């Protein structure tokens, strides 16, 4: 809750500060905000679906804007383009033999990103069992995340669920790397004392290129990073759909991407080296598995990121009225509290995510960084429970409120000031408390 008297005092304190400061602060300009979001959400960008020319155009545009801002490249890079591959895996032939006998196809399944893999013996393979009395469904999550060479012997009591998993693994899926040694092989059998094993797996593996767009302003404390991010990908064009089938993704998340670009310009225009390094990233593939934020988080030391502002869907007014935004995972670090304090005395307010049952903290790129301990939260203003345009072709610029968006970007800039100056550092997120 805001306290009017305190707010007024803070206001006077703030204004006297700006009188004594000698530099005119840069402006967040509504015209430029409108130009950027209109470009990103234009039909020319074809809904910014991964692996399409439309998202390439969007990437080019963001890179040009980062250049205009004068951002530096991230360390070790020679452009703003953070390119990486993911792999589409289409299952091919697999032959599994246990104790010298070939297992019937309906009684085994493989989880592997190998182009070609061969295990001639049981040695080196870890054997797990799922007994008839075990809850296979609840064990499955853990099993699917195992690394190394694994054989899982599943009691035939779980035949039905096994069949469902098998069908799932037979479809093409994606992996972040090709691994020609490791796999998880599951066999439906009541033999839990097997003596020999032979595995041959072949998949068709196709590399596909993805790119984040990244840039930075190096601070005096080079290795303390304040991160601003938003995803620039969206859902593209839906073939076979009647009427408008181009999903422009204006609110989701051209609005957040616009904020990231605008903040880059704003902080670069300060004209002096910030105390902390500021990194800006437009993530790819948020809508298709979160591969962009995953790759990004592996390119730097997450311990160096002191805070992450993930900006999602800020084009429409929030539930609590104009000039408000909400923060996901409010209780997971002191990030939200610091933001609230930072804008006290202004006309803007931050408050906790009003839709806790929607699990929004886990539904965007911030979660990837939060699982590494980073105080990484999404800031949004959209009434997700009643919004008519969310993940619809109607998510167009005409439905957005540019003045509100501009005010929100200004509030985020203000809220980040003392984190960038090094005066404030949010507490870390405890990854053990996360899903
Ligand atoms: Zn989104």
Q: What spacing in Å lies between the alpha carbon of 384 and ligand 1's midpoint? A: 11
Tokens representing 217?
Answer: 């302003």
* Residue 393 DSSP symbol: T
C-alpha to C-alpha distance for 127 and 105, rounded to whole angstroms: 20
Share of the chain above pLDDT 90, in %: 87
pLDDT > 90? residue 119: yes
Query: pLDDT at position 131, please?
Result: 96
Q: What is the DSSP string of 4-68?
A: HHHHHHHHHHHHHHHHH--SPPP---HHHHHHHHHHHTSGGGGGG-TTSHHHHHHHHHHHHHHHH
Rama region for 278: left / alpha / beta (φ>0; ψ in -120 to 50; rest): beta
Q: pLDDT at position 151, please?
A: 97
How many angstroms does the Cα of residue 235 sit away from the middle of ligand 1?
Answer: 10
Ligand 1 mean position to 252 CA, how many Å?
Answer: 5
- What spacing in Å lies between the alpha carbon of 286 and ligand 1's midpoint? 7
397 and 391 in contact (C-beta within 8 Å)? no
Question: 355-389 pLDDT, tens per residue?
Answer: 999 999 999 999 999 999 999 999 999 999 999 99
Distances, alpha carbon 114 to alpha carbons 39, 149, 168, 176, 204, in Å: 40, 12, 17, 12, 9
For residue 78, report the distance from its CA to the centre of ligand 1, in Å.
28
From the CA of 173, how far away is ligand 1's center (Å)? 22
Cβ-contact 227, 279 below 8 angstroms: yes
Ligand 1 center to residue 67 CA distance, Å? 25
Q: 387 alpha carbon to ligand 1 midpoint, in Å?
A: 13
For 171-201, the DSSP string reads S-EEESS--SS-EEEEEE-S--S---EEEEE
Q: Are strands 149-154 and 126-130 parallel, antiparallel or unpaired?
A: parallel
Q: What is the tens place of the pLDDT at every residue in 158-215?
A: 999 999 999 988 887 889 999 999 999 999 999 999 999 999 999 999 999 999 999 9
pLDDT at 23: 61
Average pLDDT, the chain: 92
How far is the C-alpha of 395 from the C-alpha of 388, rounded, in Å?
8
In the reported structure, the alpha carbon of residue 234 is separated from the centroid of ligand 1 by a whole-number distance in angstroms of 8
Q: 156 alpha carbon to ligand 1 midpoint, in Å?
A: 42
Question: Residue 213 class from Cβ within 10 Å (0-12 exposed, 13-18 middle, 19+ buried)?
Answer: buried
| Angle subtended by helix axes 30-40 and 255-268, to nearest 10 | 140
Output the pLDDT for position 316.
96
Compute the distance from residue 363 Cα to the ligand 1 centre, in Å: 8
State yes or no: pLDDT of 289 exceeds 50. Answer: yes
Is 7 or 105 the better-scoring residue by pLDDT? Answer: 105
Give the integer Cα–Cα distance in Å for 369 and 387: 27
Mean pLDDT calculated for residue range 58-66: 98
| Token output for 206 | 């196709």
Average pLDDT (136-145) is 89
* Ligand 1 centroid from CA 43, angstroms: 18
Can you tell me the mean pLDDT for 330-359? 96
3-35 per-position pLDDT tens digit: 334 444 444 444 444 444 446 778 899 999 999
Task: List the domain boundaries for the chain.
Answer: 4-72+218-433, 88-206
C-alpha distances (whole Å) from 46 to each of 57, 211, 258, 402 are 9, 17, 17, 22
Q: Give the residues across from 17 on adjacent strands.
A: none
Instruction: Report how far apart the first and last C-alpha atoms of the chain are (Å, whole number).
Output: 30
| 17 phi/psi in degrees, rounded to 5 | -60, -45
In this prediction, residue 147 carries a pLDDT of 92
Dihedral sign (CA 147, 151, 155, 160): positive
Residue pair 96/103 in contact by the 8 Å Cβ criterion: yes
Residues 197, 97: Cα–Cα separation, whole Å: 6
Q: What is the pLDDT of residue 163?
A: 95
Average pLDDT value for residue range 133-151: 92
Q: If you measure from the C-alpha of residue 92 to the centroid of ligand 1, how many angstroms do you get, rounded to a whole number?
A: 34
Q: Report how far ligand 1's centroid is from the alpha carbon of 411 (Å).
A: 20
* Cβ contacts of 341 within 8 Å, gap of 6 or more: none
Which two structure tokens, joined as six digits, stand for 258?
């616009």
For domain 4-72+218-433, give the CATH superfamily: Zn peptidases (3.40.630.10)
Q: How far is CA 37 from the centre of its chain?
A: 20
**pLDDT beyond 50 at 296:** yes
* 426 Cα to the center of ligand 1, angstroms: 24
Structure confidence at residue 280 as a pLDDT band (50, 70, 90): very high
Q: What is the pLDDT of residue 142?
A: 86
Measured in Å, residue 266 CA sits from the centre of ligand 1 at 23
Which uninterrupted H or E stretch holds 407? helix 402-420
Measured in angstroms, how far is the CA atom of residue 254 from the centroid of ligand 1? 9
Measured in Å, residue 58 CA sits from the centre of ligand 1 at: 16
Q: Compute the distance from residue 200 Cα to the ligand 1 centre, in Å.
A: 40
């Amino acid at each position: 809750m805001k306290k009017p008297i305190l707010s007024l005092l803070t206001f006077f304190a703030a204004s006297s500060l700006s009188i004594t400061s000698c530099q005119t602060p840069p402006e967040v300009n509504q015209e430029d905000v409108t130009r950027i979001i209109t470009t990103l959400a234009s039909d020319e960008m074809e809904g910014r679906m991964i692996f399409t020319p439309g998202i390439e155009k969007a990437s080019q545009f963001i890179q040009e804007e980062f250049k205009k801002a004068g951002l530096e490249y991230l360390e070790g890079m020679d452009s703003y383009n953070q390119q990486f591959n993911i792999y589409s895996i289409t299952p091919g032939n697999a032959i599994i033999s246990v104790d010298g006998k070939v297992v019937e196809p309906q009684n085994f399944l493989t989880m592997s990103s190998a182009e070609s893999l061969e295990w001639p013996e049981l040695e080196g393979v870890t054997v797990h069992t799922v007994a008839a009395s075990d809850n296979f469904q609840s064990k499955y999550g853990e099993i699917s995340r195992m690394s190394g060479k694994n054989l899982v012997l599943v009691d035939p009591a779980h035949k039905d669920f096994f069949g469902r998993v098998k069908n799932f693994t037979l479809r093409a899926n994606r992996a972040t790397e090709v691994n020609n040694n490791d796999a998880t092989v599951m066999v439906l059998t009541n033999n839990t004392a097997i003596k020999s094993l032979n595995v041959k797996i072949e998949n068709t593996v196709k590399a596909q290129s993805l790119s984040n767009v990244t840039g930075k302003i190096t601070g005096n404390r080079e290795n303390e990073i304040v991160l601003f991010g938003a995803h620039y990908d969206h859902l593209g064009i839906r073939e076979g759909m009647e009427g408008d089938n181009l999903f422009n993704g204006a609110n989701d998340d051209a609005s957040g991407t616009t904020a990231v670009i605008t903040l880059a310009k704003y902080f670069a225009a300060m004209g002096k080296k910030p105390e902390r390094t500021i990194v800006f990233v437009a993530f790819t593939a948020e809508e298709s598995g979160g591969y962009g934020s995953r790759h990004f988080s592996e390119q730097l030391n997450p311990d160096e990121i002191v805070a992450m502002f993930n900006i999602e869907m800020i084009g429409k007014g929030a539930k609590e009225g104009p000039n408000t935004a909400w923060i996901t995972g409010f209780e997971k670090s002191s990030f939200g509290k610091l933001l609230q304090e930072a804008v006290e005395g202004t006309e803007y307010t931050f408050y906790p995510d009003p839709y806790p049952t929607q699990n929004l903290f886990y539904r965007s790129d911030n979660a990837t960084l939060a699982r590494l301990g980073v105080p990484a939260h999404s800031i949004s203003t959209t009434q997700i429970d009643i919004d008519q345009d969310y993940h619809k072709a109607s998510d167009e610029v005409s439905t957005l409120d540019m003045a509100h968006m501009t005010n929100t970007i200004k509030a985020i800039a203000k809220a980040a000031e003392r984190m960038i100056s090094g005066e404030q550092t949010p507490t870390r997120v405890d990854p053990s408390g996360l899903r």
